[in-house]
Structure 1
Amino acid sequence: MPNSPLVPTVRRRRLGATLKGLRNEAGLTLDEAAASMGWKGPKLSKIENATQAIRPAEVGSLLLAYRVDDGEVHTALENLARDAGKKGWWQTYSGIVAPAYADYISLESDADQICEWAPLVVPGLLQTAAYARENIAGITTSRTPDDIAALAEVRLARQSVLTRPGKPLELWVIIHEAALHQRFVVRPATMREQLRRLLDAAEMPNVTIQLMPLDCATHPGVVGGFSIVSFPGPIPDVVLLENLSGATYVEGEEAVPFTKAFERIRATALPVEDSLARIAQMEEGHRQ
């Protein structure tokens, strides 16, 4: 019986798309590139479409055929091939975490930078446990208390990318001031603790926080929040858009407008020092 095709994972899809882009840049057809490896065209097509695995050493040979000699590119794509089928810690929550959310956690774990515009809530990577539980409970329509507790655990576990050994994730977030005026009736101290968490996180060298003031000028972010996830080497950015129906991903050239929009949002927001001073003032207000 023939082997079933591999189910495309988010890592395998990114690898295949990046290899296809590099092949096109090299001016090689599918058959020409496959022939350089002693393959038939359909094999390379399956690799590019993420339905067949490729070994790290084969990635290196393919890149040489594409005249790519940048060591960082080789390392990034070989690592992606090596990790393509690896299961992450979030797999233990497979009954709780939706597939689209699992895909995002995988992207987040591989990223070297995330730029996030958050007009409504504090970004998940900076949330406290209490804030996470309150917000998950508030937006869900069908989750049990145990589910909510598990999803809060997942949200906090994701934050390990900020302190991972070697190269922690670079995080730049812009939060609308309105999001920090949220009130929690059952546990009023929740927002004060969350504001303190933001101030503590801002002391990390890889975390930058800006605040969009209530009296800001019009900017591209008024249409909604988004996260730009960036990776090492030539792997294209991925933009995450979220709503009640789930997550939508924007990739490749379609992600470019979001990068330009983030630059304008960043220029409209308060400078970093002023942002932190405003957050500290709000945190002090909760103590009175």
Structure 2
Amino acid sequence: MPAKPREHAGSTFWLRRLGAELRKLREQSGMTADQAGAEMEWNRQKIWRIEKGTQEVLRTWDVQNMCKVYGAADSLTEALIGLCEKAKTGDWWQSFSEVIPRWFNVYLSLEEAATSIDWYTAELVPGLLQTDNYARVVFNTAGGAEDSNELTRRAKVRVQRQAALTRLAPDPPALHVVLNEAVIRRPVGGASVMAEQLRALLQFGALPNVTMRIFPFSAGQHGGMNGGEWVLLRFPQESSEPETVFHEALNGAAYLTKEQDVMQYKTVQDDLVKRSLDEETTKELIARAVKEFEET
């Protein structure tokens, strides 16, 4: 019986969860993707899309037939049909689909489902914590937004993601952030935008589920200097979703789930935390930076 995912997960998460269970069933049955496709009168590519959670339209009837082909017990079939029904509810960000890259849909679903998020960034405030004005500057600088309306909607997605940090049920994720000192020093968007953004960081840092530390210039070199930015996501113990490192680039992203890859990032993250300023000193440094930008 698949473990019950948390109720706030979006449809992308449910499709990935369902796909993982169906793949497990197929492998247990000894069938290849070609054989399964032949039984369902599909090609193997469709089987692979379903198992990866990228088949956007999946009927409960199809899930029931796949379970029958794989010899699944009635109770398991019923549970997987339930996951399929959950996937039909849709993600909140689907209404922004015209401004969200397809590769980022997966990240949004993982962020929604995560119980713990470790974030390191060297240049910019984490997307999850950006203000509307700061996000607009970032998107405008990176390019890709065709007009002001697209810029507005892309920034709105970033701000709307923040609701997860203060939700009442289920528990919000534990967010642990390490910022390179450059993040609070570089005047992105000018002094007023930075002052507003840093005040927002102080507010986020006051949340009981958020920790924030600055890695100071004085700490010197560190193991993440070639990494730029990454996010380490952890999920409920009962979930089959593996710990995942998200690494975003200009026009795509990498999702690392191999144990040795994830462990390397964990080791670097732990070292960054140990060598960073404590939370109280971090807040004091950010507050001083706010004052400096306000006086500029």
Q: Which category of TM-score, normalised to the shorter sequence, fits these structures? A: 0.7 to 0.9
Contact 1:236-1:251 at 8 Å conserved across structures: yes
Aligned mate of 2:29, from 24, 31, 34? 31
* Residue 101 (str. 1) matches residue 101 (str. 2): no
Distance 2:127 2:82 in 1: 26
| Contact kept? 2:19, 2:52, Cα under 8 Å | yes
CA distance in structure 2 between the partners assigned to 1:182 and 1:94 by the alignment? 31
- In 2, are the aligned partners of 1:115 and 1:173 still within 8 Å (CA)? yes
Q: Which amino acid counterpart does residue 256 of structure 2 have in structure 1?
A: V
Out of 150, 154, 174, which is 1:151 matched to?
154
Asked whether 1:230 is paired with 2:230, we answer: no
Compute the displacement of 1:158 (Å).
0.8
Q: 1:130 to 1:154 in 2, by over 3 A?
A: same
For residue 16 of structure 1, report the CA deviation from its aligned partner: 3.6
Which residue of 2 is the match for residue 91 of structure 1? 94
Q: Tell whether the 8 Å contact from 1:18 to 1:236 is kept in structure 2 after alignment.
A: no
Establish whether residue 249 from structure 1 lines up as the match of residue 255 from structure 2: yes
1:170 aligns with 2:174: yes
Tell me, in whole angstroms, the C-alpha distance in 2 between the residues paired with 1:230 and 1:223.
23
Task: Report the equivalent of 1:267.
Answer: 274
Calculate the TM-score normalised by the size of structure 1: 0.76
The 2-side partners of 1:170 and 1:182 are apart by: 27
Give the drift of 1:20: 5.9
Residue aligned with 2:211, SS: strand
| Distance across 1 between alignment mates of 2:120 and 2:211 | 12
Other structure's SS at 2:16 match = helix
Q: Per-residue displacement from partner, 1:135-187 (whole Å, max 9, x unpaired)?
A: 111111453221111101111011111011221121111111101112246x5
Match of 1:69 in 2: none
- CA deviation profile, 1:163-216 (whole Å, cap 9, x unmatched): 11221121111111101112246x531111111111111110011111011122
Q: Does 1:277 align with 2:284?
A: yes
| CA displacement at 1:78 relative to structure 2 | 9.8
Q: Quote the offset at 1:14 in angstroms.
A: 4.2
**Aligned AA for 1:208?**
T
Question: What percent identity do the matched residue pairs reach?
Answer: 29
Number of residue pairs matched by the alignment? 255
Stretches of structure 2 lacking an aligned partner (at least 5 in a row): 1-10
Shift of 1:252: 4.0
Counterpart of 1:222 in 2: which secondary structure? coil
The answer to whether 1:220 aligns with 2:227 is no
Residue identity opposite 1:148 in structure 2: L
1:3-18 to structure 2, matched below 5 A, reads: 9=12, 11-17=14-20
Task: Give the residue type in structure 1 aligned to 2:247.
Answer: L
Structure 2: how far apart are the matches of 1:49 and 1:162? 28
Partner of 1:148: helix, strand, or coil? helix
Secondary structure of the equivalent of 2:219?
Answer: coil
- Contact 1:219/1:268 (CA < 8 Å) preserved in 2? no
Partner of 2:6: none
Supply the distance in 1 between the matched residues of 2:83 and 2:177 (Cα, whole angstroms): 26
Is 253-262 or 96-105 further displaced after alignment?
A: 253-262
- TM-score, length basis structure 2: 0.74
Q: Distance in 2 between matches of 1:257 and 1:19?
A: 30
Structure 1 residues 14 and 146: CA distance shift in structure 2, 3 A: same
* In structure 2, C-alpha distance between the alignment counterparts of 1:82 and 1:256, rounded to whole Å: 35
Whole-angstrom CA distance in 2 between matches of 1:154 and 1:236: 25
Q: Is the 8 A contact 2:121 2:178 kept in 1?
A: yes
Structure 1 equivalent of residue 201 of structure 2: 198
Letter in 2 for 1:98: P
- Structure 1 residue runs of 5 or longer lacking an equivalent are 1-7, 34-38, 66-74
Task: Indicate how the Cα distance of structure 1 residues 79 and 277 shifts in structure 2: closer, same or farther if over 3 A, else same.
Answer: farther
The code of the aligned residue for 1:160 comes to A
| Paired residues of 2:177 and 2:213 also in contact (CA < 8 A) | yes
